[in-house]
Chain A
């Protein structure tokens, strides 16, 4: 699993560039399907026949269809495989669209988790109160959208347990996460209620280090890595899909494993 040519272990150079490109004006970063990117089809047809806006629209619709196919395939009782402690990948890679030293620094003493949407009790949660919730542990495989994988160990409270405690309406469609670095995404309620979906406060039985999302990440072994938010500052239960950082750029929304 040695991945070469990356600036920072676990960070894809292309994605960094992609992220930097976001700072450019809109037309200049619409290279999604243009020019050289059409290499194979251009070779095939001898000319650039694909209208990129039309192609992008079709691909997005198929991606939405794939969301439904994956929701259908998702079995709420199927557990992700768990591994022995000896299988844990050490060091576990840091991964983000920013460098490790740019990761958010959160003061655990003043931290408050905001909760909202279709819930009964909207009182914010301190880290002490969160850490006092019943804890579970898992050693599961984190699979990145890039293809690599790593086995990690997480401890925390089941999200389903937490949702019950805040009186969430679990008939709602989505759980939305807002994170300190500006990251956000939504997941389907079925995944949020999965027994292995966990609000994690610890990695490998140590307080979650900054690089892995201190003070809290949401570990979902049934989803690709980027669907597992870190540095969570707010959780909302809602019926509208508020999108997500990567999903808005074209990653498949469901991204279930």
Chain B
């Protein structure tokens, strides 16, 4: 068995699943997102949209002023890193080749396969249609959370953007729901990584 493997190595093309720019932007985004979510929860607590608050044990900043400082510092990292990621995703054609097409029929079939634990993931370089939908969707959510953030940060200077999201108060809710979608994504994303640990290795080493 050892000899067969050894014999195979020279012939096998070393496939890079995630190029360096994907890995670097992924981990910068991961840290920036956690800071934005933790501080965002503390900001939310100052004036809640729903009948609950986040426990201060899971928020960042200690009080509103501290949380705002974290939020308005990490926003630069999140937004600049996000722009680099989206630009490279479009320029290199990675988004098109990896995330498209998304066909409802295939999504339904893959959801069914996943739920019956029959969904194959031998080849990490290829996304199934559920992955394509979720990864494409979370990019749209990421862009929306940055835009709604700008809309509620600058409702006078960028009032056209605020109006686009239905005004200041509505934009706050949209901003919140984007956060909820990202947290939901994060839970599934991390959970699936634990089930398929080689996907975590791929995001660290590239293969």
A residues engaging B (CB < 8 A)?
1, 3-5, 12, 14-15, 18, 31-34, 36-41, 43-44, 58-60, 62-63, 66, 73-75, 78-81, 141, 143-149, 221-222, 246, 249-252, 256-257
With the chains together, A105 CA to B55 CA distance in Å? 38
Q: A39-B38, A40-B34 are in contact. Are A59 and B70 (CB under 8 A)?
A: yes
Residues of B within 8 A of A39 (CB): 38, 56-60
With the chains together, A148 CA to B69 CA distance in Å? 18
With the chains together, A149 CA to B172 CA distance in Å? 11
Beta-carbon nearest neighbor of A250 in chain B: B65
Residues of A within 8 A of B154 (CB): 73, 256-257
State which residues 23-69 of B face A: CB under 8 Å: 31, 34-35, 37-39, 43-48, 51, 53, 56-66, 68-69
Contact A62 B155 (CB under 8 A): no
Which of A15, A63, A147, A257 is B43 in contact with, Cβ under 8 Å? A147
9 contacts between A and B (CB under 8 A): A3-B47, A14-B46, A44-B31, A59-B66, A59-B69, A73-B154, A75-B157, A145-B46, A257-B155
Which of A18, A63, A146 is B47 in contact with, Cβ under 8 Å? A146
B177 within 8 A of A: no
With the chains together, A34 CA to B63 CA distance in Å? 11
Residues of B within 8 A of A251 (CB): 65, 68
Q: A147 → chain B, closest Cβ, in Å?
A: 4
Which of A15, A40, A146, A252 is B72 in contact with, Cβ under 8 Å? A252
B144 within 8 A of A: no
Contact A41 B60 (CB under 8 A): yes
B159 within 8 A of A: yes
Q: A217 → chain B, closest Cβ, in Å?
A: 19
State which residues 87-132 of B face A: CB under 8 Å: none
Residues of A within 8 A of B59 (CB): 37, 39-40
Number of A-B contacts (CB under 8 A): 127
Task: Please tell me the size bucket of the interface on B.
Answer: 35 or more
Q: A37-B61, A148-B47, A246-B65 are in contact. Are A78 and B56 (CB under 8 A)?
A: no
Residues of B within 8 A of A4 (CB): 48, 51
Q: A39-B38, A41-B60 are in contact. Are A33 and B66 (CB under 8 A)?
A: yes
State which residues 66-84 of B face A: CB under 8 Å: 66, 68-70, 72-73, 76
Residues of A within 8 A of B190 (CB): none
With the chains together, A144 CA to B172 CA distance in Å? 13
Contact B62 A32 (CB under 8 A): yes
Residues of B within 8 A of A37 (CB): 56, 59-63, 66
B168 within 8 A of A: yes
Contact A144 B47 (CB under 8 A): yes
With the chains together, A78 CA to B158 CA distance in Å? 9
Which of B37, B39, B76, B169 is A149 in contact with, Cβ under 8 Å? B169
With the chains together, A12 CA to B53 CA distance in Å? 13
Q: A236 → chain B, closest Cβ, in Å?
A: 25
Additional pairs, 6, CB under 8 Å, beyond known A62-B69, A250-B65: A15-B64, A44-B31, A63-B73, A74-B157, A143-B168, A246-B65
Q: A40-B38, A40-B59 are in contact. Are A12 and B47 (CB under 8 A)?
A: yes
B156 within 8 A of A: yes
Residues of A within 8 A of B61 (CB): 33, 37
With the chains together, A147 CA to B175 CA distance in Å? 12
With the chains together, A197 CA to B133 CA distance in Å? 48
Q: A37-B56, A63-B72 are in contact. Are A78 and B156 (CB under 8 A)?
A: yes
With the chains together, A80 CA to B156 CA distance in Å? 5
Residues of A within 8 A of B155 (CB): 141, 143, 257
Beta-carbon nearest neighbor of A257 in chain B: B156
With the chains together, A14 CA to B43 CA distance in Å? 11
